[in-house]
Amino acid sequence: MTTWVIPPHAAASLAVQDSQARFPIHRIFCVGRNYAEHAVEMGHSGREAPFFFTKPAHAAFELTEEHVAAWPYPSSTADVHHEVELVVALGAGGSNLSLEQAESAIWGFAVGIDMTRRDLQADAKKQGRPWDVAKGFDAAAPIGPLYPKAMLPSYVQGSIRFFVNDELRQQGDLSQMIWPVVDTIAYLSTLYQLQAGDLIMTGTPAGVGSVQKGDLLRAEIAGFKPVQCRVSD
């Protein structure tokens, strides 16, 4: 029997659609600049090899379809940006996966939001420092319920949209990903030994912008019920 010097934290997890079961989160990987128009608005262009950053597993903030969650505005920033994304959950892992193996590793999908302290990110870029405080803060990854892969009509194409106070901010299609889901998983597996429980946030379309306290945020992807939250103190 293991004796802990301090009580271990409960595993981070997400709800599963139409189930009482929960999905344990191991790691959260995020793909940067995976839609061409977003790459342009961030000052880049063209197809490049995918690059990744991470968020802690406990940065996941659970969104539900039944009520509007209160998402806490983070400290030490005056410019928090929204980035709506398709989230992939892995039920298996491995290294140097083929495209077929990468597709077989997928357990399911969710609607997520990559929240970013943009002012801290910009400062870190200027100084050549890591982005951790800009991307990995508490509640930095609001995510809705996970849908098993078989429940979705398609994860290759379908509209992806984001609203702030019912104003459309972001609009695109999953087919516009520079690196599609399966290609992203296969590439990431050359850098890490992927494991069951890993999440991958697959990038965001153009239109990212700031949110303010009191704003109502709504994320939509075809095949999912919309998820919402309100920015709180």
The CATH number of residue 149's host domain is 3.90.850.10
* pLDDT tens-digit map of 171-191: 999 999 999 999 999 999 999
Indicate whether 83 belongs to any domain: yes
Q: What is the pLDDT of residue 150?
A: 95
pLDDT above 90 for 27? yes
* pLDDT tens-digit map of 49-72: 899 999 999 999 999 888 899 999
Over the chain, what is the mean pLDDT?
A: 95
Indicate whether 5 belongs to any domain: no
Q: What is the pLDDT of residue 227?
A: 97
Mean pLDDT of 199-222: 97
Q: What is the pLDDT of residue 66?
A: 82
Domain range enclosing 27: 19-232
Mean pLDDT of 166-173: 97
- How many domains would you assign to the chain? 1
pLDDT band at 220; cut points 50, 70, 90: very high
Indicate whether 13 belongs to any domain: no
Q: Write a three-state SS string for the chain.
A: CCCCCCCCCCCCEEEECCCCCEEECCCEEEEECCEHHHHHHCCCCCCCCCEEEEECHHHEEECCCCCCEEEECCCCCCCEEECEEEEEEECCCECCCCHHHHHHCEEEEEEEECCEEHHHHHHHHHHCCCCHHHHCCCCCEEECCEEEHHHCCCCCCCEEEEEECCEEEEEEEHHHECCCHHHHHHHHCCCCCECCCCEEECCCCCCCEEECCCCEEEEEECCCCCEEEEEEC
Mean pLDDT of 218-230: 97
Q: What is the pLDDT of residue 41?
A: 66
Mean pLDDT of 194-198: 98
Q: What's the pTM value of the predicted model, to 2 decimals?
A: 0.95
pLDDT band at 205; cut points 50, 70, 90: very high
Indicate whether 41 belongs to any domain: yes
Q: What is the pLDDT of residue 76?
A: 98
Indicate whether 96 belongs to any domain: yes
Indicate whether 205 belongs to any domain: yes
Indicate whether 4 belongs to any domain: no
